Amino acid sequence: MNRLEVQSRVDPSLNGVVTELLVDGQLLSDFKKDSLSVDLSALKTATEQSGDFYIVTCICGYPSCAGIKQGIRIDHIGGCVYWVGRILDETQTFTFGLEEFRIAVKHGIEQLKRLLERYDLEVAPEIMELAFGSAEDAR
């Protein structure tokens, strides 16, 4: 089984927060170099259902802007999450335990909420609503 981590950190050079995905301790992609971001709303939905999700997207929110042409295929089968996706030019396949996957996503969202509160960072309300349910839930 693979292990997912969702990490957010303040990046002073961008004057904002960068959220990245790590699998088994390795970055899924160079998010900053490739101007990529994590769609936490899509990732949160992927904890509950199978489907194709644009979990990794351009920093602007449009996957095609970063050259991402297809979502990551997520399948929930027998207590496991199967992940097959192409991030830029590389196809990646992982298997996560369902509960561990859900916990990692939950912790990642909680970490981002703490950063937003601690540094009083501004984020578009639409993004907060998608990720947290409502703009007020994020604070």
Q: Considering the domain boundaries, does residue 139 fall inside one?
A: no
Domain that holds residue 52: 4-133
- Which pLDDT band, with edges at 50, 70 and 90, does 134 fall under? very low
Q: Please tell me the pTM assigned to this model.
A: 0.84
Q: Report, as an integer, the average pLDDT of 91-101.
A: 96
Q: Considering the domain boundaries, does residue 50 fall inside one?
A: yes
Q: Considering the domain boundaries, does residue 8 fall inside one?
A: yes
Rounded-to-integer distance, Cα 27 and Cα 29, Å = 5
Quickly list DSSP for 75-130.
EEETTEEEEEEEETTEEEEEEEEHHHHHHHHHHHHHHHHHHHHHHT----HHHHHH
Number of domains in the chain: 1
